[in-house]
Amino acid sequence: DAGVTQSPTHLIKTRGQQVTLRCSPKSGHDTVSWYQQALGQGPQFIFQYYEEEERQRGNFPDRFSGHQFPNYSSELNVNALLLGDSALYLCASSLRADGTDTQYFGPGTRLTVL
């Protein structure tokens, strides 16, 4: 049973560029959430996708956008990258009908913006 997978593992971009990160949820899960984790901090919620729609969003600018596909996988897009966007981006999946909505995390994508 595959857990949550993310790609790529590491990424280096320059200011102003755009980036796309990918996530495949745990088998059987239908909900994907994205988090940003700065060094030495706890993860911060970006948004959550269910049934291919953004259902809830944290305090992140519109430069952060996402998508969920019919197979429940998801992408996180960040436009006009800033130095402060350097962080570990985590994807978490859960099962909507589970009730507890326990979220299971992937290994993350380390994004460095130069």
Contact residues for 113 (Cβ-Cβ < 8 A; gap 6+) = 12, 13, 14, 15, 17, 81, 82, 83, 84, 85, 86
Q: Which is nearer to another protein, 70 or 99 (CB)?
A: 99
Alpha-carbon dihedral angle through residues 37, 33, 3, 69, given to the nearest 10 degrees = -130
Q: Which is nearer to another protein, 15 or 55 (CB)?
A: 55
Binding stretches for another protein (CB under 8 A) = 4, 31, 33, 35, 40-45, 48, 50, 55-56, 58, 90, 92, 99-108
Q: How far is the CB of 15 from another protein (least distance, A)?
A: 25
Q: How far is the CB of 16 from another protein (least distance, A)?
A: 28
Q: Which is nearer to another protein, 10 or 84 (CB)?
A: 10
Q: How far is the CB of 45 from another protein (least distance, A)?
A: 4
Q: How far is the CB of 103 from another protein (least distance, A)?
A: 6
- CA distances, 15 to each of 33, 46, 64, 91, 94 (Å): 25, 20, 15, 23, 33
Give the chain's length: 114
